Structure 1
């Protein structure tokens, strides 16, 4: 190359570098400007509820205030899972790093017993734990919100409940997805609710229809004015018990009065230098999540890549072993000694993975729960919120099945849960999500049923990094697990990590469930040749998450699988 050619080449190179740099900066700035929120953020399952939470933050409320408002707003706008008739879990981290968790999971009524869903021959009666008045546990959501607000809230309780009352009384425009869900459930709702007219319409529901719920508004007014007693005592409690008794259910006024949520010490783990803050039992999710992360941490996932055959095989084998442990060792810690420390010992999870071989799938029939020395033998919704002070809340709450038991409390206008199905009705018999349980999760009076809910907060270098969680029944744990890996190992931004295709294995049944096009043809063929049975089906999870970026702003991930919405300021 002569001098003139060299100068020309350098000139072109400099111009190219300049425009490439400008394009890069412009792209970064464009991304930041369109999704750059420094003062707070709400990500949840329905747009109207997300906007309620954002307005609370703008009024000076903190993350817990916004969470309370969102919970009640979702009761109105997301009847599939938002609720005052169910329960859930909250993981909290203050802007100064204080952590806490609140267990407002439902409890079995005092009259419940381990054989309550079995016939005279000892067989499970189909549907009794799903769509009858005896399917409901004592609800915990209202008490949970009341306790969270009492400990951490800033604004007045009435200010937080009023937006939900307005949505119920004035109505709100329903989305296309909600219209479809209402139409899907209408036949069963009508059958199970003679003499009631909740969520029903003479014609089919259409996108843009206005949904008004006057009885629910009146119930929320009782809660607004009387706090916890507006639900667990007085007129609403009478309506609950009257409804339960009409179907020979078990919940009594005393069960309602005796219900209290419980503050529990957060589970803390580490993954590649990140601190994982998650929910302890009776959530099985926290223990299982930390076990999964320990099981894969020593492997080079970043080099293997997102949903490569090696990545999927490793994760499936870890999931197989962790769900086997879940079946035997997890339950309500107030009734059953859950060996949390043993299950979260790195050497234990390394040992569990030692039987894994790259050559072929490990049949689930060959995988039992691990041996621990000295040890005796969903439709759900999630929301993530952060405020201007960095206080963060991760809450997963549920009715269990979509629309719960589909039975409404007459006069009160809200749905009862069918959480009793989350107990092990009979050892070895799967529940509605295909999860198999044992003695640890047997039905006992006043006991909390095991859950897969996995609300989680992640720190990096002592600072808030991520808030994450999802609905999805048995798939909750694996969806949170994969979302965390997507960010940390595969360097995806928050929206990418939430939207990325997922897969799931839960020990039994011995199949790998995948979303449509989650695996390319080559990866799927390689795994099937090793003996993995892969079943392509519907969506897995609906993750709602928030990331604190390296530039200091909040980046939301709202799952496109639902009506999930991210808003911030």
Structure 2
């Protein structure tokens, strides 16, 4: 069946048709027929032709915007019975068009006139000749033609993936898969918000409202993302920050995808062994206090994103956060409990104690939370941009704080900080394309390996079955082993990325998976319980621009150090380095030499902001998650739930999750989520099962039939808003 190419409500609003000739399984298109395609497609409307033929692949020919010769891309398809079938579809583009007709024939319709666009019979005849020639040719095309340039080329699709569903991600599926426990509570708590034009999903409802207000005032998705980031600094201090760093994936309405790295860096005074004593024991100073702090990148990253893609003035984007800090906001129960859990750490530092505690305790829910020092800092950033943070008055306060507590960051470290634009990783999975971050985020490579391994199993077993959970666990185990062994900052480390991202390598990993037994991992000594704290937000605007951004302080409230006089927390990202050979970090990860500490180096991360396009290259999903080493597996499972299990987005996010990261050799299952029979089967296979409270949240936006659906993960206190 040809993919459904219906109206893209979030795309370029200027109108016009996006042309495509789709031939499923033609071996080759001769040069003269390529010219036919180009000549035929010079007028509107055009059709998409789907033809099937044995022992071949698929060609998509699309005319570029400049009207030049069409570009061809090729993918493998499932084996055929030798028939050559033709389906005709038309790909509409623009806010005022919709698709009608059967799955095999659709035409753009003007809603004002109600008249179908007429098909030119001469062009249809020409396209028919094209299909006939393609079906009769016997020469095979190469397996893969990359669709975007760059060092990290897109990952080709599997040899025989099932056809991608044409439905919107927010639709389809059942309310609750049969193998989810009957008393699973999150299925009743998840809420979806629908909107026609734009959507924002964040970890706090007030931040989502700020983002939507920016969009209503004419800002684009990047403007909204910047405003959301500053607002989260105020209302979600456990992770929202200007004292940390992060990663942002941006997709513009003209199909440009960029990846922005504003990860923290090690201070110039950092050394490889700074967190171990003379006996080789790991010290606690990588987790709490001034020596755990990396050079922050958030302010520089937000300013650079705005400089490159923003529309509204910078000051207007910071202003909502200034107001929230100056005038205060009502503390909710989620944030009150977060402060309470970390009250002991916060109380160690005078500025943090004054900022977050009342008589040594967390303020109760309902308290108006006012932060005057932070309001002044944000106003300085609004007036002067990042210069004041890295070279001006705020920089001076950071350096004074470091000197007071024995930290390493100097004026020179702050002045030297730079963000980096990087080529995103593009992962092909069952007809979809997932764009995500390359290293120093390890999330993108790890996600690619998991997806590549799982793509070889089709169809997948039912959700919640021991068979599916076993396969997912073994794919995760292998991907995380490679993450820990090979990945690091690309400016310091040579990595075998081409091999790790290849389908051929995934096939070798898949070949050594025992379908009946768990593969043992090496158990490290002294593994610690995992923690969190990052925050993720997703934004889509009326023009179809999209932002997926994850920022972090690392631990809850980062280092627990608040900059005296400035009112913001500093990160404890130095713990994301390999602090000692063979020893786990905060998230239990035992890492390799590629992530050893060095001055100016970016520490490896699990952040996995992602933007997903469907088989027609339309925006399909925007998602990401906080949660340290659990980020990547959470993002993978939501993607798989939507694509493989046909779940609507709310169900896909609320569904119980599992996690395995190679070491420690423990399969974590979300409490009360899976049926007992599946758990017993996993244990019988040799998995070391641990039941836990899974706190990673996925905040996502999905295409819907009439706009967008936003879902904030019910595991935390986030919110979605749109218009």
Q: Does TM, scored on the shorter chain, surpass 0.5? A: yes
Tell me by how many angstroms 1:365 deviates: 3.2
Q: Which residue of 2 aligns with 1:526?
A: 681
How many Å separate the matches in 2 of 1:204 and 1:81? 17
TM-score, normalised to structure 1, is 0.90
* Residues 468-479 of structure 1 aligned to structure 2 (within 5 Å): 468-479=623-634
Distance 1:518 1:474 in 2: 20
> Deviations along 1:429-449, whole A, 9 cap, x unmatched?
100100011110000000000
| Residue of structure 2 equivalent to 1:318 | 475
Superposed CA deviations along residues 499-553 of structure 1, whole A, max 9, x for unmatched, are 111000000011101111222011111111111111111124100000012x241
* 1:33-182 matched pairs, under 5 angstroms: 35-125=193-283, 127-182=284-339
Say yes or no: does 1:489 pair with 2:636: no
- Picking from 385, 393, 398, the partner of 1:240 is 398
The count of corresponding residues between Structure 1 and Structure 2 is: 527
- 1:359 aligned to which of 516, 528, 545: 516
Q: Which has the higher contact order (CA 8 A, sep 6+)?
A: 1
Partner of 1:400: helix, strand, or coil?
A: coil
Secondary structure of 2:550's match?
Answer: strand
Residue 719 of structure 2 corresponds to 565
Q: Contact between 2:193 and 2:720, CA under 8 Å: does it hold in 1?
A: no
CA contact (8 A) 1:404 1:418 kept: yes
Find the residue that maps to 2:562 and give its secondary structure.
coil
Greater CA drift, 507-516 or 191-200: 191-200
String of CA shifts for 1:272-302, please: whole Å, max 9, x gaps.
Answer: 0001101000000001101100000021355
Structural mapping, 1:212-361, within 5 Å: 212-302=370-460, 304-361=461-518
* Partner of residue 11, structure 2: none
Cα–Cα, structure 1 residues 486 and 135, in superposed 2: closer, same or farther, change >3 Å?
same
SS in structure 1 at match of 2:348: helix
The answer to whether the aligner puts 1:421 opposite 2:575 as a matched pair is yes
- Contact 2:523–2:663 under 8 Å retained in 1: no
Contact conserved, 1:503 with 1:540, CA < 8 A, in 2?
no
With 493-502 and 253-262 compared, the bigger mean Cα shift is at 493-502
How many Å separate the matches in 2 of 1:298 and 1:187?
48
1:385-464 map, 5 Å: 385-460=539-614, 461-464=616-619
Structure 1 residues 111-164: Cα deviation after superposition (integer angstroms, max 9, x where no partner):
111111111223222x11011211000000000000000000000000000000
Is contact 1:546–1:556 with CA below 8 Å preserved after alignment? yes
- Matched position secondary structure for 2:620: strand
CA distance in 2, matches of 1:204, 1:256: 32
Unaligned runs of 5+ in 2: 1-170, 176-191, 525-531
Structure number with greater Rg is 2
Which structure has more helix as a fraction of its residues? 1
Q: Which 4+ runs in 1 deviate beyond 6 A?
A: none
Q: Structure 1 stretches of 5 or more lacking a match? A: 1-27, 368-377
Partner of residue 467, structure 1: 622
Q: Counterpart of 1:466 in 2: which secondary structure?
A: strand
Deviation string 1:292-333 (CA, Å, 9 cap, x unpaired) is 00000021355x211211110000000011111011100000
- Separation in structure 2 between the aligned mates of residue 178 and residue 195 of structure 1, nearest angstrom: 15
SS at match of 1:365: coil
Q: Is the 8 A contact 2:351 2:567 kept in 1?
A: no
Cα deviation code 1:92-128 (max 9, x no counterpart): 1011211000000000001111111111223222x11
Please give the TM-score of this superposition, normalised by the length of structure 2.
0.71
CA distance in 2, matches of 1:339, 1:386: 34
Taking only aligned residues, the RMSD between alpha carbons, in angstroms, comes to: 1.8
Cα displacement (A) at 1:194? 6.5
Q: How far off is 1:250 after superposition?
A: 0.6
1:540-555 equivalence runs, <5 A:
540-549=695-704, 551-555=705-709
Q: How big is each residue's C-alpha offset from its partner over 1:163-192, in whole Å with a ceiling of 9 and x where there is no partner?
A: 000000000011111111112222221123
Structure 2 match to 1:538: 693
Q: State the distance in 2 between where 1:484 and 1:62 align.
A: 26
Structure 1 residues 542 and 207 mapped into 2: Cα distance closer, same or farther (>3 Å)?
A: same
